[in-house]
Amino acid sequence: MTRTPPSTRAVTKAVIPAAGLGTRFLPATKATPKEMLPIVDKPAIQYVVEEAAAAGLGDMLVITGRNKRPLEDHFDRNLELEQALLNKGDHERLAKAQESNGLATLHYVRQGDPRGLGHAVLCAAPHVGEEPFAVLLGDDLIDPRDPLLTRMVDVQQREGGSVVALMEVEPSQIHLYGCAAVHNTAHPDVVHVTDLVEKPDPADAPSNYAIIGRYVLDPAVFEALRETAPGRGGEIQLTDALQQLATSEEIGGPVHGVIFKGRRYDTGDRGDYLRAIVQLACEREDLGPQFRAWLGRYATETGLSALA
């Protein structure tokens, strides 16, 4: 790779990979994109778009694939529905129907050949150009009360290079994530990443810091991705391209990690998805009080609370 100095430009764009087949949720995902499955009453993708918008990233590129048309429809106006609700005078539901319009300028590109997360991110290269940009993975929901992306953008603007979001996990869980070897910095929530490995065996993991699905990346990552051979699972891994940046700071500057200690909800498989829904429903102001009361009764009646 050629020496590429890090970009010093502002972060304005977000990339949202959404081309996966969602096979863990079949049959629900046979004709419906996984990103459209509701978390309580809002599709998973809307949480992610709202998070990027809240961090000031008004230009988003969604990487889609086959059967993803409902994603595009969701962020457009549905005039027929709006008119029907207006005619009924149902302003509360009208507001809900309009919630996802105008959150950002959304662009779409198709990943014609799904060859992994790294390959999906590479599909964003022509749109992103020479600016640092954010990547948000839809399987990780970050509670809006614990803003992470804003902090990552601040760190990227101060340090240059790339920034990944890290969270400490049980050592037995590290094989599910990208894992970072780190050194401390003067800031307690920021570490310097010296190495990265995708889904290591626990015995080989350099730490228990897991990459959760938020990144702010220097555009040099595209050059690294073009040279990244298929890795874990035969796929082009984003972690492998970042490993090249982390171990050779001449390309695209350093890699830092922001350590996240806030509320994160994993929606990647059915068990995690159910837990995320129950947690979020319990915390909702409108649904929470009644739902919590029912959950408490259910746990007592079924003897579940004795197991906790």
| Binding interface with ligand G1P (CB under 6 A) | 117, 137, 139-140, 177-178, 198, 210-213, 237-239, 268
Residue with Cβ nearer ligand G1P (33 or 213) = 213
What share of residues in the chain are helix, strand, coil (percent, to 5)? 40, 25, 35
**Structure tokens, 302:** 């079924």
85 vs 276, which CB is nearer to ligand G1P?
276
Residues 33, 45, 64, 211: is their CA dihedral positive or negative?
Answer: negative
When the beta carbons of 85 and 180 are compared against ligand G1P, the nearer one is 180
CB neighbour class for 145 (10 Å; exposed up to 12, middle 13-18, buried from 19): exposed
> C-beta of 233: minimal distance to ligand G1P in Å?
8
- Least gap, CB of 147 to ligand G1P (angstroms): 18
CB of 173 to ligand G1P, least distance (A): 10
Residue 178: count of CB within 10 angstroms of its CB: 26
Residue showing the smallest CB distance to ligand G1P in the complex: 178
Quick one: which of 222, 45, 44, 220 has its CA closest to 121? 222
Please state the closest distance from residue 128 (CB atom) to ligand G1P, in A. Answer: 19
* CB atoms near residue 168 (< 10 Å): 14
Closest approach, Cβ 191 to ligand G1P, in A, equals: 16
Q: Which is nearer to ligand G1P, 229 or 307 (CB)?
A: 229
* DSSP H or E stretch at residue 213: strand 209-217
- 131 contacts 10 by C-beta, under 8 angstroms: yes
Of residues 85 and 211, the one with the C-beta less far from ligand G1P = 211
Closest CB to ligand G1P among residues 21, 104: 21
CA dist 160 and 7 (Å) reads: 7
Q: How far is the CB of 263 from ligand G1P (least distance, A)?
A: 15
